[in-house]
């Protein structure tokens, strides 16, 4: 089966580099026996457009462009982005680079500078997240059961005033709810050992689970330690890593064959449990418990003393969640929120637990993808068709609390998306914290107010309003930041009727003026520098009536050269300028008596130039002709002949063979 490549080429002017890059990639692909399809995005618009099937079937995507190319339709595909010159200079090497270096666009782990989106390669965080993934179902189940039971624990007097907290076990409902509350407490008591067990499992596999769970239980049992509180989440993490790497070390020992069948189920677990018991009892238990006690007492003090503290903490956690869309910063915030919640539940009970960081993290999770979707609805003219499709997918992911739906947009516009996401996520995190929302479990999105359990001042509404505020801020920043995309709408009959007489006259003049004649061939005997060559080209363009202002056209040639060199291989250049002074498209062939330094692709001096005049409004048929010149120059025989030939008639015949 042939290897399949799709590519997009585009340059600043949309003429020369665009088509030469396309031709180079096509020829290099054929030489290698690959199936290559190239879409060109030139001044006349997109040609040879890639279909959904082309993209789906492709092994890799090459974007050889000097302008911004919309990558949304390539989400999930391996993409390599380079300059158009890379495709012209070394197309075969570029194809190989694509297979070796292309990365999946818009997937977890996408890198933008030093920021990794949606994924962390940090092993420490990876192991902890593994433990959290196993612990989360227990947290949700225990939290919701506790919350439901807690509703029935508030006892009222005859006037409807709450006078006591506790379960009236003399009734069947009261007895059942008291047991339900106990079940929830057991869940919270077991979740930290469960977390530690699976962190250790991530490090050293199954033999590490039992000793890590036992060690984490001990480090969180205040009665066993003889302290006021346990070691909390931090103690569990420490135990999990000690056990994990201890077991990993024990597995490397060359044990006698006779005991090897018992290693995983008895010998290693027993040794590890004994060692971690000693470490917890005599080394880390007391100090960790004292540290955690001080930390959470301090956090509680801040929340109770400073009214703004919940908003500030919530905003910081929200901003971290929105920063890298599931990357290491996002995961750190999620871990911190989970740790504070679980530890304060264990220390103070569910009634006095600190919900702020965990609730803020959940409120912020869906802001970025839902903000993108809302922006695509409010600012349709600033999103391409492909981007609107991706935004719809982001909506679906955001509604179920998956931040990663924003990654394709962040990969395309990192500064814009990270700024908008951080601002909106920080606001959502701060608002749910200052209003006193408590997230027990469920989906981290506006939908969480229904699917899950969130305690909030105004049932259902507070959570929705707080998260929606963050979503709106994100959408507005994206919408106002973006520029409108090109709208290819057909002229209406009314539009066509307002064409002025002068415009019609200009069109007639353009049609009468021939694109290329034998009189357009010149030998420049005097120019020795690129600047002098530009002045000569501007003078002949004015002489033949192709430009209104010689100086303006000369300046246009210089400005175009700053964007990228127009010098190609074997001494040929295509200097051109697309500006308002150009009256009509034209082609001039200039042979330089003195080879000119031009910063060409192969470093050679220029002896032959195809000088082009391009109207600012870019008549489509003429631009198509001009692009065919650039394509023709890829032909080695044509290029060599045009450079060596000196006879004017032969040169005219040669250029006339171009498919105008």
Domain ranges of the chain: 4-105, 507-656
Decide if 71 contacts 16 (C-beta within 8 A).
no
Low-confidence ranges of the chain (pLDDT < 50): 488-512, 619
* Residue 363 near residue 466, CB atoms below 8 Å: yes
Check residue 570 and give its pLDDT.
84
Please state the three-class secondary structure of 8-58 as a single string.
EEECCCCCHHHHHHHHHHHHHHHHHCCEEEEEEEECCEEECCCCHHHHHHC
Examine the residue annotation and report whether 437 is marked as an active-site residue of this protein: no
d(C-alpha 336, C-alpha 341), whole Å: 9
Separation between Cα atoms, residue 64 and residue 83, nearest integer Å: 5
How many CB atoms neighbour CB 560 within 10 A?
Answer: 22
CA dihedral 8, 9, 13, 19 (to 10 degrees): -130
Strand partners, 116: 111
Mean pLDDT for the chain?
84
| 3-state percent helix, strand, coil for the chain, nearest multiple of 5 | 60, 15, 25
The per-residue pLDDT for 113 is 67
Count CA atoms closer than 13 A to 21's CA, side-chain side. 31
Tokens coding 395: 């909506």
Euclidean distance between CA atoms 197 and 618, whole angstroms = 68
Please choose, from the candidates 472, 296, 274, the residue with its C-alpha nearest in 3D space to the C-alpha of residue 373.
Answer: 472
Choose, from 6, 7, 11, 420, the residue flagged as catalytic.
11
Q: Are strands 586-596 and 572-573 parallel, antiparallel or unpaired?
A: unpaired
Question: What homologous superfamily does CATH list for 4-105?
Answer: Response regulator (3.40.50.2300)
pLDDT of residue 520: 92
- Asked if domains 4-105 and 507-656 share a fold, the reply is no
Q: Between the CA of residue 104 and those of 58, 78, 108, 603, what are the distances in Å?
A: 13, 4, 9, 35
| C-alpha separations of 535 from 330, 540, 611 in Å | 57, 9, 12
pLDDT of residue 618: 56
Inter-CA distances, 450 with 445, 447, 454, 473, Å: 10, 6, 8, 23
The fold of 507-656 is: Mannitol-specific EII; Chain A (3.40.930)
For residue range 621-640, what is the model confidence (pLDDT) as tens digits?
Answer: 556 666 777 777 777 788 88
Tell me the per-residue pLDDT of 122-167, one tens digit each, with 9 for 90 and over.
Answer: 788 788 878 888 887 887 788 778 778 877 876 665 655 555 667 8
C-alpha span between 477 and 479 (Å, rounded): 6
Per-residue model confidence (pLDDT) at position 164: 65
Give the C-alpha separation, 157 to 536, whole Å: 100
d(CA 651, CA 476) in angstroms, rounded, equals: 58
577 within 8 A of 556, measured Cβ to Cβ: yes
Structure tokens at 251: 């597995």
Local structure of residue 502 (DSSP, 8 states) = H
Q: What is the DSSP string of 396-425?
A: HHHHTT-GGGGHHHHHHSHHHHHHHHHHHH
CB neighbour list of residue 488: distance below 8 Å, 6 or more residues apart: 45
């Amino acid at each position: 089966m042939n290897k399949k490549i799709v590519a997009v080429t585009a340059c600043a002017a949309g003429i020369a580099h665009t088509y030469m890059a396309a031709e180079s990639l096509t020829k290099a692909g054929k030489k290698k026996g690959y199936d290559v399809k190239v879409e060109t995005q030139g001044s006349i618009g997109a040609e040879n457009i890639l279909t959904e099937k082309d993209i789906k079937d492709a092994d890799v995507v090459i974007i050889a462009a000097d302008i911004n190319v919309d990558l949304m339709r390539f989400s999930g595909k391996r993409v390599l982005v380079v300059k158009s010159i890379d495709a012209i200079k070394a197309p075969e090497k570029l194809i190989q680079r694509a297979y070796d270096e292309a990365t999946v666009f818009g997937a977890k782990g996408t890198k933008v500078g030093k920021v990794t989106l949606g994924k962390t390669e940090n092993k420490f965080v990876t192991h902890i997240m593994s433990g959290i993934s196993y612990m989360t179902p227990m947290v949700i189940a225990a939290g919701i059961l506790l919350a439901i039971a807690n509703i029935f624990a508030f006892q009222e007097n005859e006037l409807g005033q709450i006078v006591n907290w506790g379960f009236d076990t003399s009734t069947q409902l009261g007895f059942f709810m008291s047991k339900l509350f106990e079940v929830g407490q057991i869940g919270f008591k077991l979740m930290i050992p469960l977390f530690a067990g699976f962190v250790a499992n991530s490090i050293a596999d199954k033999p590490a689970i039992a000793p890590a769970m036992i060690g984490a239980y001990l480090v969180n049992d205040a009665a066993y330690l003889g302290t006021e509180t346990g070691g909390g989440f931090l103690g569990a993490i420490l135990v999990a890593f000690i056990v994990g790497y201890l077991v990993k070390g024990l597995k490397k020992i060359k044990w006698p064959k006779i005991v090897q069948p018992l290693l995983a189920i008895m010998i290693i677990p027993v040794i590890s449990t004994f060692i971690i018991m000693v470490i917890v009892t005599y080394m880390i238990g007391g100090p960790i418990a004292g540290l955690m006690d001080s930390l959470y007492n301090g956090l509680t003090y801040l929340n109770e003393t400073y009214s703004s503290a919940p908003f500030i903490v919530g905003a910081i956690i929200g901003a971290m969640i929105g920063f890298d869309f599931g990357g290491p910063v996002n995961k750190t915030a999620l871990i911190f929120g989970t740790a504070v919640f679980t530890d304060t539940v264990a220390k103070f009970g569910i009634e006095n637990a600190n919900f702020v960081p965990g609730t803020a993290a959940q409120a912020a999770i869906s802001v970025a993808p839902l903000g993108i979707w809302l922006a695509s609805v409010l600012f349709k003219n600033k999103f391409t068709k492909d981007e609107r499709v991706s935004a719809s997918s982001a909506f679906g992911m955001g509604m179920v609390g998956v931040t990663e739906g924003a990654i394709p947009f962040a990969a395309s516009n990192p500064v814009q998306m990270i700024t908008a996401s951080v601002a909106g996520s920080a606001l959502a995190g701060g608002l749910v914290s200052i209003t006193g929302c408590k997230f027990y479990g469920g989906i981290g999105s506006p939908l969480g107010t229904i699917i899950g359990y969130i305690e909030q001042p105004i049932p259902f509404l507070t959570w929705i309003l707080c998260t929606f505020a963050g979503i709106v801020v994100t959408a507005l920043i994206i919408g106002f930041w973006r520029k409108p995309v090109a709208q290819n709408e057909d002229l209406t009959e009314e539009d066509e009727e307002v064409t002025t007489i002068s415009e019609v006259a200009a069109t007639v003049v353009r049609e009468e003026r021939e694109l290329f004649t034998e009189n357009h061939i010149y030998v420049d005997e005097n120019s020795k520098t690129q600047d002098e060559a530009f002045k000569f080209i501007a003078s002949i363009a004015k002489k033949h009536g192709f430009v209104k202002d010689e100086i303006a056209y000369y300046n246009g040639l210089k400005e175009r050269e700053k964007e990228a060199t127009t010098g190609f291989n074997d001494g040929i250049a295509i200097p051109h300028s697309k500006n308002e002074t150009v009256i009509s498209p034209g082609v001039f062939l200039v042979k330089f008596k003195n080879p000119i330094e031009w910063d060409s692709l192969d470093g050679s001096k220029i002896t032959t130039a195809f000088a082009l005049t391009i109207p600012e409004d870019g008549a489509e048929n003429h631009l198509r002709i001009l692009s065919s010149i650039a394509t023709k120059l890829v032909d080695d025989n044509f290029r060599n002949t045009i450079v060596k030939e000196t006879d004017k008639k032969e040169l005219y015949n040669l250029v006339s063979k171009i498919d105008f």
